[in-house]
Structure 1
Amino acid sequence: MKNKYMPTAISMYINYFVHGMGAIILAQNITFLMQQLNTDKAGVSYVISALGLGRLIVLFASGALSDKLGRKPFVLLGMGTYILFFGGILMSPNVTVAFIFALIAGMANSFLDSGTYPALMECFPEATGSANIMIKAFMSAGQFALPMIISILVNNNLYFGYSFILCLAILLINGLVLFKLQFPAFKAVEKEEAAVEIEVNHKANLLIEGICLILIGFTATATFYIISVWLPTYGQEVANMPKTSSLQLISYYSAGSIASVFITSILVKKWIKQVRFVIIYPLFSLVTLTVLYFNPTPMICILSAFLIGFTAAGGVLQLALTTMSELFPTSKGKITGIVYTSSSIASFVMPAITGVISKTSVSGIILLDMGIAAVGVVLALVVNIRYNVVMKKAA
């Protein structure tokens, strides 16, 4: 039987295609923004850091409110605030104003997450892992498409702002469509989940597997964030790749992420529990980063870009969130807020930390990523052990 919420889900996925472009659009247009804002790379980096800060400010509160007020208002609020960002950046005369609009973009991301992730779990209660990991596919598709769009604009000497206007137009049209679509009755689902909590939730331990999953929100985000930002620099300065080739590494990274999403969603749906990937992928990321650190060649950089995209950016964060929702079945909005608050902290502090390290050694950034991935493996090992215990007792 066809799921009546499929149009709603597709509309929400389109938002994340735009979000994928929005997450990198400032970095991709750094040269143009330096001219518009009358600043340097450090100034644009400062603006980019506002994305993580804005996300962090409202995420937990919006997650809790999503459980009380519903999913649809927060999805629409996220779309509206994202429209403000795309339009506002183009009108920003300086770094301060641009920082404010980037802060709004971070908030928009939080609003979308708070409404979309719980809504998708409620749209597809029998395939929550696959439903959530598809978000990453649409994000990666957006990140894959934007560099090509910008290349077309640059090669034809067109206004760089058309990429922002395109995102704004997609959101505006999609918002008009989504406004008329139906969302699942979240309150009725929560009543059913309350009964599940009595059976399962008291056996799960927030101070053990709960804390570990929250911290995985940090390690998973930090692992792929560092690569997505610094791998082109590493390829150029350490592996001696030409600049154009080093920039193409992000395309390989995005391709790996897209491939992972589809393969993982199939495996999660039919054969392997999502919690297993929470440890498998960070372990492969750690191995890949280790090889990259000790063998910085152009070919290794290309392979590493794809593999890190596959294992780190392919949905570990989404699978950790789904695992936490399974262990702690009630208040999906709050759970989303907690895990993504941890993720937001990573996206806010990593630019500062890696920026300092880059002044002395770009290789040191990869070494830092190795350490973060190793911590993620240990955390995931604890989660898997506890998952086995909890689910055995619940059976």
Structure 2
Amino acid sequence: MYIKTALGMYINYFLLGMVNIILISNMTSLTGQWSTDSAGISYIISAIGIGKLLTYALLGRLSDKLGRKPLVIVGAVGLAIFLAGIPLAPNYQIAFVLAILAGVSNSALDAGTYPGLVEVFPTSSGSASVMVKAFMAAGTGLLPLMISFIASKGMFYGYAFFVPAAVYFLNMLFLFTVPFPNHRTIRTPEDDHDDGSSKFLSEPIFKKEGLALVVIGFTSTGLFTVAQIWLPSFGQKVLGMTEVHSIKLLSYYSIGMFVSVLSLAVLLKKFLRPVTVLVIYPIITFVSIVTVLTIRSVEIVSVASFFVGFSTAGIFQLSIATITELFWRKKGTVTGLLATAGGLASVVMPLVTGMLSKTGNLKIIFIFDAFLSVIGLVCAIVVFYRYRKLVNGHNEKEFSKSDEKGMNKIS
């Protein structure tokens, strides 16, 4: 009944995958248009994070009060305006305001879409939420190809903005015509069994595993943000790639994300628990970043970009799944805290890396990125250890069994 509704929401996130990299992918054109530099573009990107950070809590409450459909539609309209406005923005100040609008619109999409998908697919909400990341990865992968085509034809760079803006507008009209579930009456199967009476040997402690998960929310978003902003610049300035070819590093990155999301959709059901993935992925990220830093080969960096995308995809969603499992009595509160940490990272990381870029040595940015992955790994180990201590005997056996199967499968 709601398949068209879900499709419309997924299309929004397919386009959002383009939005996430569209500024950095057109850096040369935009710096000339606004008389700024790469650091200035990174500050514009941080404005998107500011818009998200300031409105996440408010829009979440509006979603519960007004329903999912108004938020999803408003988010699509706002992002269409952002995309159409950026190539026409006459100065940096207007672009900054448009970026804040994009952040607010992104929050509106999140506030309407994630609970909306849970209500559309109440028996498979986890897989439905993970598929959001898959559609975003597909959009992220397609945009560089679109930009390359536009550049090869000598067309105005703004067409890369206008096309997704038009699709957003058309999708908004489509969403007006489809029904959404009644958010006031939907109850998920988890709600019926969430008594928590025998789940843990003792109560989880927020100051330990809870805080560690909030930090993972920050580091996972930070790793994601830094890689998307600076991989093309690294390709150009360190490896000597052309602008068009350097953007392809984002395509490899997005392919890695897509493969990861599809893999997780299978492995999490049969072999692995989220806490195990939270430990494995930062290790892969660290090794991949070190490879980028030490081997100046376009081919090797392309492969490493794939693995950076692979190992950073889905970590934020898995940390939300874990924290809501541990602190099931306050799901909304802990989700808000983790989302706020992610929003803070989306603001801070462009600012910090923008300042680091002024040194003229982009390697410093990726050294900083490697440091973030180490912090995420340490916190993941804390969560893994605490989770193993908290689960009762029956669940502990299942936990070990599933992890052993998963590790054998991966190896």
Q: By the TM > 0.5 criterion, same fold?
A: yes
- For 1:91-170, list aligned pairs within 5 A: 91-170=88-167
Instruction: State the partner residue of 2:210.
Output: 210
Instruction: State the partner residue of 1:320.
Output: 319
Q: CA deviation at 1:220?
A: 0.6
Instruction: State the partner residue of 2:409.
Output: none
Instruction: State the partner residue of 2:399.
Output: none
Q: Aligned partners of 1:210, 1:179: CA distance in 2, in Å?
A: 39
CA gap 1:240/1:42 in 2 versus in 1, 3 angstroms? closer
Instruction: State the partner residue of 2:408.
Output: none
CA gap 1:374/1:363 in 2 versus in 1, 3 angstroms? same
Corresponding position: 1:19 with 2:13: no
1:318-360 CA distances to partner (integer Å, 9 max, x unpaired)?
A: 2222222333446766554432221121121112211222333
Measured on the aligned residues, the alpha-carbon RMSD in Å equals: 2.7
Moved more, 144-153 or 370-379: 144-153
1:32-52 CA distances to partner (integer Å, 9 max, x unpaired)?
A: 333443444444333222111
Moved more, 135-144 or 317-326: 317-326
Moved more, 7-16 or 96-105: 7-16
Instruction: State the partner residue of 2:344.
Output: 345
C-alpha contact (below 8 Å) 1:221/1:317 kept by paired residues: yes
Give 2:353's aligned amino acid: T
CA gap 1:197/1:104 in 2 versus in 1, 3 angstroms? farther
1:76-95 CA distances to partner (integer Å, 9 max, x unpaired)?
A: 22112212212332442211
Corresponding position: 1:229 with 2:229: yes
Q: Aligned partners of 2:62, 2:346: CA distance in 1, in Å?
A: 23
C-alpha contact (below 8 Å) 1:63/1:335 kept by paired residues: no
C-alpha contact (below 8 Å) 2:42/2:229 kept by paired residues: no
Q: Aligned partners of 1:394, 1:110: CA distance in 2, in Å?
A: 39
Instruction: State the partner residue of 2:58.
Output: 61
Q: CA deviation at 1:240?
A: 5.0
C-alpha contact (below 8 Å) 2:144/2:247 kept by paired residues: no
Give 1:100's aligned amino acid: V
Q: Aligned partners of 2:136, 2:153: CA distance in 1, in Å?
A: 26
Moved more, 258-267 or 127-136: 127-136
C-alpha contact (below 8 Å) 2:17/2:140 kept by paired residues: yes
C-alpha contact (below 8 Å) 2:253/2:305 kept by paired residues: yes
SS of match in other structure, 1:248: helix
C-alpha contact (below 8 Å) 1:288/1:304 kept by paired residues: yes
CA gap 1:116/1:392 in 2 versus in 1, 3 angstroms? farther
Instruction: State the partner residue of 2:191.
Output: 193
Q: Tell me, which stretches of 5 or more residues in structure 2 are unaligned?
A: 396-411
Report the count of equivalent residues. 391
Q: Tell me, which stretches of 5 or more residues in structure 1 are unaligned?
A: none
Q: CA deviation at 1:241?
A: 4.9
Q: CA deviation at 1:182?
A: 2.9
C-alpha contact (below 8 Å) 2:282/2:374 kept by paired residues: yes
C-alpha contact (below 8 Å) 2:48/2:347 kept by paired residues: yes
Q: Aligned partners of 1:326, 1:17: CA distance in 2, in Å?
A: 28
Q: Aligned partners of 2:89, 2:223: CA distance in 1, in Å?
A: 31
Corresponding position: 1:89 with 2:86: yes
Give 1:327's aligned amino acid: L
CA gap 1:119/1:38 in 2 versus in 1, 3 angstroms? same
The two structures have a TM-score, normalised by structure 2, of 0.86
Instruction: State the partner residue of 1:80.
Output: 77
Same amino acid, percent of matched pairs: 40
- For 1:256-335, list aligned pairs within 5 A: 256-312=256-312, 314-329=313-328, 334-335=333-334
Give 2:343's aligned amino acid: S
Give 2:259's aligned amino acid: A
1:248-271 CA distances to partner (integer Å, 9 max, x unpaired)?
A: 221111111111111111112333
